[in-house]
Structure formats: structure tokens, C-alpha cells
């Protein structure tokens, strides 16, 4: 008998050679896909032959999803083998949102996908078992003698010292793979092939162009249906599409990765800034405006030149090297340094909405969510070490006010620790990480550790926000930095009369304002809360004779700071309402003979709720109150 140690440190005695699948059943784990034996991922159907620590891998983990979807890719390849026997498979890896497989000699379109899916269902229904086999290079050349791609990959892997392995499904299909794999095709209950495209072998345009098929898979049919629903919702909510339809912003090839905010989008941007400025006033922040262009010397002092240069836009002016700023922190350090500081001056909270530029690769740019030019609600808090906890608690309160009360977002927090390349002393990093971990735990905040993903100058807490259809977005960030004060020789005079180094907290509550707007567009599907909507109400006169009265109502509304427009076209009211709903105006106000004679309004919301005979003065007061209080809901 041998001992298996489970993740909760409990032990179970098993017979030598018992498989992981048998152990999983014995301890009541029904959803295991693979396992780790002493930390090494392996197949669930592999025998356990010695004392070992065993951890089961499920679909809930990213590792489990990769194993499951790579196994599905093999089922897809099996189906292709049966339907198109002359096609040559190359690679079929899992990706962030499913899997793909590249093929030579496979001439198919998306119209062929249902037929392939049907064949995959047949294979799944047969419950064919997977088996791992070790191969020599000669065996690979024999098995895949008609597929030079497999021989090429195996030869390179063999020369690099790797062990060649393959996985069989049943008796008919075999493919090179390092594994692990799910035990049987029957595990795959929900799957779909999503698209067909082209890709060059190994991504090199000098090589042959292959057919690439994308797919997705889940352990249950329900998860697949939920995924398809979310995908459809995401397409409807895509901020790039809605941004054009609602005339929020535009892009142009002359400035890739940069956004032109149109008047409607600029309203949203300015409302967010106004909201934050009000909060800053209540929370003791001091706003500054800093330059965009800085000499190389500043970036050498800050450490960006060594650690971030590839992400910076560089230029030479009169023989001097400059960069557009990717971050505000070095310029704030210069501001701090212009005066001597006492412990009585701290914390000093500097805020900055300055324009930032980062040299992102064109392939990762995407609407407002990944850009080269953007603005953050950036701030740097200079404080004493003993003030860090109180400042972090204040920031947690600030985050709650913004995300939960104002926008009704749910979120989770991640603590990102020291990266491979970092500034400063590892002991200082350990101290900073411990401080952040302690303040999270003392305040009973759930978090997960994200190893190695900290900024190069300090650990950070990142906020991951869940939107209306369950997607996660990384927005706010709180970063603790013991290095900046050292590199810029920043000091304050302590109560003991001696010089001390301040701690710097880098923080952005919304993160990138541009990115936050993109997330808001998708979260609300373009139906913004009244206070932030570019146009808060549209007035619809029934006929030209109602226009003077309508203009009078609009004037009263504008005098209260409300954003209203008048649709004076000679179209029918139903047509005007349909057009206003497409533009997602929160309120549509119809004015005809009855309204003019009774001095009332007929109100329709974007969701179709209608109310007649509404008092003009009362309605304007209600709107103004909802806007001033930044209410999420407004009912008439």
C-alpha cells in the first residue's frame, strides 16, 4: 500500500498502481479532468506508483480549461480525419477563449462546420478512451509519414532533448501531444465550432497558408448555452460598435491607438472628471497639471529607461533624447521635491488627469480598452510608513463609493507580487507585499495572489470588475512604492527632527478614463444612467405649432443644467420615438395640444415606460435631483 496526500493534507492509503480516476471517485471528486502528482500534471488514467501528493485538476481552473479544450481539439481532428482523410493536421492548441486547429489541404467554409460538429458528437457519444504512448522519432516518421508538419515538429522537439509522446483516442486516431488529456470523449458535453479563417504555418507569411478552425467547449450543454448567450450579448454591447452608433468617439488611421472623443463622448469624459474632482475636494487631494515631454534623464532616475523603455515613445530634440510620458509618477516626484516637507504635511495627495502615451504593439490595440494615448485619474500619495494602512483603508472606501454605490459594479481584488525584473531590494519588496497583505486581511477583504505581476517598482492591488453580463475587467489599481523616494532622494522631516523617506502610493480609481468609458458603454449597453448620458432628454413636438412651447420647456431644463435636444423634424411621433430609442436617449418627451393646454408633459423612458400629465416644474426638479445625486435609476 502507498499513501496519497490530498490538498487538505489528509492521507489515503491505496494500492500501488491505482489510477487517479479511481482515487478521485473514492474521495468524492466527480469533476476531475486530470491530476498533479507531486506538482507534475499528468493524466487521470495514469497509475500512481509511489507515495505522492495528489491534486485534482478541474474545469474551474485555467489549467483544467486548457486540458479540456486541447482534448476537444483532438476530437475535432478525429472528426476531420474521418470526413477529410487527406487533410494534414498541424497544431491545435487551447487559447484564452477556446481552441483552434490549423490544417493543410482542408478546403472548408463555415457552412461545413455543422457537418463536422455532427461527426464530433458521434465520437463523443462513442465514449472513446484516451491513451498516452511514448514514441521514438522513427516511430513518429512511420506513423505520420504522410504529414511532413508532424515530422518537422517531432524532429525539432527530439533534437532539443524532449521525449516524444502522442495520444490515441480509441483505435483509429493518434496525434502528437505532451498531454495530459481527459480520460474519455464522453466528458465533452457542450461544444461548438465558431469560425474558419486562414493562418500561415508558424505565423510566417513566407510559409504556406493553412485553414484555421476555432472552437469552444464545456463540460455541460448549459455552460455552452450560457457562453453563446454571453457572446451574443457582448456583440450587441461592443463599445466599438456602440461608440460609432451613439457618436461617442472615432478613430483614424493617421493616429492608430488613439481616440477622437466626439461631443457625446466628451460629455461622458467630462462628467467622470467632474465626479472625481468633487470626490477629490472631499478627500484632500490637490490637482496638478504636468508636462507631457521629458528628458531621458528623468526616466533614468525613475528606472523607466531600464525597465520600461520599449513601451515609451522616444524622440530627439536639439541632440537631447526625450520621451512622451507613459506615467505621471516621476513628474509628481519633481513637484514633491520643490519644497521641504515636515511630517505634519503628510499625507500629500497629488492628482493628475494628464495625457499619457505608451507604445503598445498594433496587434493588441482594441477600441478604448487598449490604447497608445489615454488619460488616467492618476494620483500619488506621499505618506509616512505608519500612515499607509489608513490611506489604504481610505482608498478601499473610495473604491466602494465609485464602483458599488455609483455604478453598481461587483468586483474582486488581486494582490500582484514582485516580477522577475524589478527595482530595488527584495527585502524592501517583501516588506511592501506584507503591508498590502496585512491591510487586506485586517479589513476582511477577499483577494487572490497574482504572483509576479507587480509593477517593476512595487507590489499592487488590482481591482477586477464584473460587468452586467459577467465579464471581468481590470480597472482600479493601488500600488505601494518604497523605491521612488530613494531614487529621487525624497525626504520629510520627522517628529524626531531627522530626515526620513516617504512611502509612495500610486493609485488610479477608474484606471484609464478611456478604458473605463469603454467598459461603461458595454456594461450599460449604451443606456447610460441619467447623470452621465450625453443627451438626457429629447423633446418631440407633435407639430410645428408646438415648437415655441417646446423651446420654452427646453430652456427651463437647460437653465437647471440638463442636457436636452429638440427633434423638430416633420416626421411622425412614432418615427421620432424609434429614432430616439436607437440613440438610447434616457427620456423622450412628447408635446402636443393636450400638453400645451394643460402645461404638462408626456414622458417615455428608453425602456418603454410611459406617463402622461406630468407637471413640468416637478419633472424638471426630479431630473435635476437625479442628476445631482448621480442616481442609477430614474422613474417618472
Per DSSP, the residues of 314-375 read EEEETTEEEEE-S-SHHHHHHHHHTS--BGGG-SEEEEE--EEE----GGG-BTTTB-SEEE
Nearest alpha-carbon partner for 461 in 407, 426, 421, 414: 414
pLDDT band for position 475 (cuts 50, 70, 90) = very high
Rounded Cα–Cα distance for residues 71 and 179 (Å): 9
- Indicate whether 364 pLDDT > 80: no
Rounded Cα–Cα distance for residues 113 and 118 (Å): 9
| Dihedral pair phi/psi, residue 632, rounded to 5° | -80, -30
Residue 33: per-residue pLDDT: 96
- Indicate whether 635 pLDDT > 90: no
Could you tell me which residues come within 8 angstroms of residue 185 by beta carbon, excluding any fewer than 6 positions away? 75, 123, 124, 126, 127, 128, 129, 130, 169
> What residue ranges in 15-149 does DSSP mark as E strands?
18-19, 32-37, 40-43, 47-48, 52-58, 88-89, 94-95, 98-104, 130-135
Rounded Cα–Cα distance for residues 631 and 624 (Å): 10
Rounded Cα–Cα distance for residues 436 and 428 (Å): 13
Q: Are 92 and 167 in contact (CB under 8 A)?
A: no
pLDDT one-digit tens code per residue, 460-470: 999 999 888 88
pLDDT band for position 284 (cuts 50, 70, 90) = very high
Cell of 326: 507613459
- Indicate whether 362 pLDDT > 80: no
Residue 246: per-residue pLDDT: 95
Cell of 325: 510620458
Residue 606: per-residue pLDDT: 87
Nearest alpha-carbon partner for 193 in 179, 173, 211, 167: 211
Domains, the chain? 2-58 (3.10.20.30), 64-234 (3.30.980.10), 278-523 (3.30.930.10), 537-628 (3.40.50.800)
Residue 106: per-residue pLDDT: 96
**Segment holding 480, helix H or strand E:** strand 472-481
pLDDT one-digit tens code per residue, 507-517: 999 999 999 99
Rounded Cα–Cα distance for residues 149 and 536 (Å): 60
- Indicate whether 544 pLDDT > 90: yes
Rounded Cα–Cα distance for residues 636 and 619 (Å): 8
Rounded Cα–Cα distance for residues 537 and 564 (Å): 5
Q: Are 183 and 45 in contact (CB under 8 A)?
A: yes
Residue 160: per-residue pLDDT: 66
Q: What is the 3-state secondary structure (H, E, C) of 544-569?
A: HHHHHHHHHHHHHHHHCCCCEEECCC
Find how far residue 267's CA is from the centre of its chain: 24
Q: What three-state secondary structure class fits 66?
A: helix
More confident residue, 120 or 633: 120
pLDDT band for position 97 (cuts 50, 70, 90) = confident
Rounded Cα–Cα distance for residues 245 and 583 (Å): 7
pLDDT one-digit tens code per residue, 496-540: 999 999 999 999 999 999 999 999 999 999 999 999 999 999 999
Would you tell me how many other CB atoms lie within 10 Å of the CB of residue 349? 20
The CB-side HSE value for 138 (13 A sphere, CA atoms) comes to: 0
Percent residues over pLDDT 70 in the chain: 99
Residue 421: per-residue pLDDT: 82
| Dihedral pair phi/psi, residue 85, rounded to 5° | -60, -20
Rounded Cα–Cα distance for residues 393 and 216 (Å): 42
Rounded Cα–Cα distance for residues 618 and 453 (Å): 53
pLDDT one-digit tens code per residue, 262-283: 999 999 999 999 999 999 999 9
| Dihedral pair phi/psi, residue 322, rounded to 5° | -125, 165
Would you tell me how many other CB atoms lie within 10 Å of the CB of residue 581? 16
Could you tell me which residues come within 8 angstroms of residue 118 by beta carbon, excluding any fewer than 6 positions away? none
pLDDT one-digit tens code per residue, 215-248: 999 999 999 999 999 888 888 999 999 999 999 9
Question: What mean pLDDT is reported for the chain?
Answer: 93
For 426-434, what is the mean pLDDT? 87
Would you tell me how many other CB atoms lie within 10 Å of the CB of residue 563? 16
Residue 129: per-residue pLDDT: 95
Sheet holding 130-135, edge to edge: 130-135, 164-169, 173-176
Look-up of cell digits 393646454: 597
Tallying the residues shown for the chain, one arrives at 636
Residue 494: per-residue pLDDT: 95
Single pTM value for the model = 0.81
Q: Are 357 and 324 in contact (CB under 8 A)?
A: yes
Which residues have a catalytic role annotated?
329, 358, 376, 378, 380, 460, 506
Rounded Cα–Cα distance for residues 83 and 328 (Å): 58
Residue 318: per-residue pLDDT: 93
Longest dimension (CA), the chain: 95
Rounded Cα–Cα distance for residues 504 and 502 (Å): 6
Per DSSP, the residues of 598-635 read HTEEEEEETTS-EEEEEEHHHHHHHHHHHHHTT-S---
Residue 458: per-residue pLDDT: 85
pLDDT band for position 456 (cuts 50, 70, 90) = confident
Amino acid at each position: 500500500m502507498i499513501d496519497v496526500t490530498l490538498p487538505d493534507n489528509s492521507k489515503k492509503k491505496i494500492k500501488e498502481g491505482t489510477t487517479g480516476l479511481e482515487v478521485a471517485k473514492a474521495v468524492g471528486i466527480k469533476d476531475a479532468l486530470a491530476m498533479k502528482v507531486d506538482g507534475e500534471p499528468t493524466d487521470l488514467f495514469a497509475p500512481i506508483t509511489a507515495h505522492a501528493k495528489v491534486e485534482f485538476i478541474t474545469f474551474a481552473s485555467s489549467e483544467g480549461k486548457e486540458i479540456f479544450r486541447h482534448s476537444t481539439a483532438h476530437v475535432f481532428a478525429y472528426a476531420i480525419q474521418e470526413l477529410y482523410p487527406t487533410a494534414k493536421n498541424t497544431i491545435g492548441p487551447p487559447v484564452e477563449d477556446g481552441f483552434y486547429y490549423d490544417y493543410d489541404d482542408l478546403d472548408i467554409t463555415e457552412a461545413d462546420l455543422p457537418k463536422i460538429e455532427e461527426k464530433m458528437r458521434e465520437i463523443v457519444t462513442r465514449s472513446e478512451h484516451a491513451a498516452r504512448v511514448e514514441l521514438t522519432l522513427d516511430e513518429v516518421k512511420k506513423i505520420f509519414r504522410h504529414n511532413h508538419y508532424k515530422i518537422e515538429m517531432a524532429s525539432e522537439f527530439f533534437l532539443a532533448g524532449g521525449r516524444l509522446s502522442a495520444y490515441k483516442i480509441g483505435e483509429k486516431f493518434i496525434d502528437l501531444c505532451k498531454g495530459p488529456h481527459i480520460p474519455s470523449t464522453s466528458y465533452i458535453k457542450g461544444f461548438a465550432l465558431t469560425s474558419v479563417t486562414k493562418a500561415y504555418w508558424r505565423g510566417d507569411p513566407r510559409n504556406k497558408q493553412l485553414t484555421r478552425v476555432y472552437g469552444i467547449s464545456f463540460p455541460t450543454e448549459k455552460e455552452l448555452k450560457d457562453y453563446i448567450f454571453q457572446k451574443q450579448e457582448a456583440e450587441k454591447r461592443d463599445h466599438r460598435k456602440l461608440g460609432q452608433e451613439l457618436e461617442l468617439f472615432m478613430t483614424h488611421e493617421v493616429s492608430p491607438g488613439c481616440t477622437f472623443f466626439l461631443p457625446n463622448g466628451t460629455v461622458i469624459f467630462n462628467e467622470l472628471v467632474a465626479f472625481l474632482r468633487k470626490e477629490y475636494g472631499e478627500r484632500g487631494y490637490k490637482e496638478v497639471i504636468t508636462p507631457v515631454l521629458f528628458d531621458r534623464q528623468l526616466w533614468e532616475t525613475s528606472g523607466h529607461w531600464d525597465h520600461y523603455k520599449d513601451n515609451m515613445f522616444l524622440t530627439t530634440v536639439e541632440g537631447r533624447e526625450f520621451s512622451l510620458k507613459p506615467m505621471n509618477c516621476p513628474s509628481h516626484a519633481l513637484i514633491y521635491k520643490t519644497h521641504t516637507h515636515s511630517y505634519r504635511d503628510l499625507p500629500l495627495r497629488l492628482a493628475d488627469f494628464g495625457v499619457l502615451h505608451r507604445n503598445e504593439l498594433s496587434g493588441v490595440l482594441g477600441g478604448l480598452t487598449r490604447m497608445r494615448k489615454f488619460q488616467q485619474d492618476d494620483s500619488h500619495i506621499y505618506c509616512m510608513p505608519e500612515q499607509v494602512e489608513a490611506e489604504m483603508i481610505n482608498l478601499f472606501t473610495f473604491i466602494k463609493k465609485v464602483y458599488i454605490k455609483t455604478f453598481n459594479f461587483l468586483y474582486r481584488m488581486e494582490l500582484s507580487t514582485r516580477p522577475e525584473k524589478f527595482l530595488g531590494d527584495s527585502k524592501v519588496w517583501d516588506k511592501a507585499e506584507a503591508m498590502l497583505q496585512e491591510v487586506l486581511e485586517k479589513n476582511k477583504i477577499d483577494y487572490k495572489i497574482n504572483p509576479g505581476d507587480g509593477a517593476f517598482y512595487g507590489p499592487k492591488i488590482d481591482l477586477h470588475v464584473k460587468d452586467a453580463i459577467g465579464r471581468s475587467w481590470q480597472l482600479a489599481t493601488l500600488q505601494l512604492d518604497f523605491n521612488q523616494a530613494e531614487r529621487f532622494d525624497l525626504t520629510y522631516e520627522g517628529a524626531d527632527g531627522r530626515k526620513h523617506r516617504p512611502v509612495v502610493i500610486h493609485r488610479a480609481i477608474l484606471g484609464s478614463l478611456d478604458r473605463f468609458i469603454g467598459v461603461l458603454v458595454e456594461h450599460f449597453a449604451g443606456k447610460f444612467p441619467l447623470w452621465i448620458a450625453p443627451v438626457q432628454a429629447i423633446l418631440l413636438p407633435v407639430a410645428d405649432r408646438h415648437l415655441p412651447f417646446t423651446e420654452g420647456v427646453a430652456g427651463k431644463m437647460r437653465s437647471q443644467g440638463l442636457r436636452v435636444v429638440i427633434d423638430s423634424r416633420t416626421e411622425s411621433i412614432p418615427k421620432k420615438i424609434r429614432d430616439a430609442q436607437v440613440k438610447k436617449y434616457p427620456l423622450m418627451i412628447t408635446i402636443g395640444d393636450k400638453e400645451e393646454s394643460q402645461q404638462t408633459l408626456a414622458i417615455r423612458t428608453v425602456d418603454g415606460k410611459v406617463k402622461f400629465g406630468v407637471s413640468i416644474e416637478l419633472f424638471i426638479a426630479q431630473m435635476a435631483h437625479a442628476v445631482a445625486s448621480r442616481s442609477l435609476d430614474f422613474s417618472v
